[in-house]
Amino acid sequence: MSESMISIQGVSKHFGEFQALQNVDLEIKQGEFTVLLGASGCGKSTLLNLITGFIRPTEGRIVVNGREVTRVEPHCGMVFQQYALFPWLTVLENVAFGLKMKGIGKSQRNETARRFIDMVGLQGFEDKFPNALSGGMRQRVSIARVLANDPDVILLDEPFAALDAMTRQVLQDELLRIYEQSGKTIVFITHSIDEALLLSTRMLIMSARPGRIVTDLHNDLPMPRNAAVQLSPRYNELKSQIWETVQAEVMRSLEATTSR
- Interface with ligand ATP (CB under 6 A): 15, 18, 20, 38, 40-46, 81
Q: Residue 20 binds which entry of ligand ATP, Mg ion, none, with Cβ cut-offs from 5 to 8 Å by kind?
A: ligand ATP
Q: Which is nearer to ligand ATP, 232 or 257 (CB)?
A: 257
Please give the Cα distance from 102 to 217 (Å, whole number).
37
Least distance CB 214 / ligand ATP (angstroms): 13
Q: If contact means CB under 5 to 8 A according to the sort of partner, which of Mg ion, ligand ATP, none does residue 40 touch?
A: ligand ATP
Q: Are 242 and 37 in contact (CB under 8 A)?
A: yes
Task: Give the CA dihedral 51, 62, 28, 168, nearest 10 degrees.
Answer: 0
Instruction: List the one residue from 4, 7, 45, 185 that touches Mg ion (CB under 5 A).
Output: 45
Q: How far is the CB of 173 from ligand ATP (least distance, A)?
A: 24
Four-CA torsion 187, 188, 193, 197, nearest 10 degrees: -50
**Strands lying side by side in the sheet with 67-68:** 18-29, 4-15, 59-64, 67-68
Tell me phi and psi for residue 198, to 5 degrees: -70, -40
Helix-strand-coil split of the chain, %, nearest 5: 40, 25, 35
Interacting partner of 46 out of ligand ATP, Mg ion, none (Cβ under 5 to 8 A depending on kind) = ligand ATP
The stretch among 38-46, 113-121, 141-149, 215-223 that binds Mg ion (CB under 5 A) is 38-46
> Does 190 sit near Mg ion (CB under 5 A)?
no
Q: Which is nearer to Mg ion, 30 or 192 (by Cβ)?
A: 192
User: Smaller CB distance to ligand ATP: residue 45 or 245?
Assistant: 45
> Which amino acid, one-letter code, is at 142?
S
In order of 62, 76, 115, 133, the CA distances from 139 in angstroms are 27, 18, 17, 10
Q: Is 253 in the site for Mg ion (CB under 5 A)?
A: no
CB of 48 to ligand ATP, least distance (A): 8
| Whole-number Å distance between alpha carbons of 189 and 155 | 8
φ, ψ for residue 192 (rounded to 5)? -100, 120
**Minimum CB separation from Mg ion for residue 221, in Å?**
25
**Interface segment toward Mg ion; rule CB under 5 A; list 76-84, 125-133, 148-156, 176-184:** 76-84
Residue 88's binding partner out of Mg ion, ligand ATP, none, with CB under 5 to 8 Å set by partner kind: none
Identify the bridge partners of residue 21 per DSSP, sorted by sequence position. Answer: 13, 211
Give min distance, CB of 45 to ligand ATP, in A.
Answer: 3
Minimum CB–partner distance for residue 39 and ligand ATP (Å): 7
| 172 is an interface residue for Mg ion by CB under 5 A | no
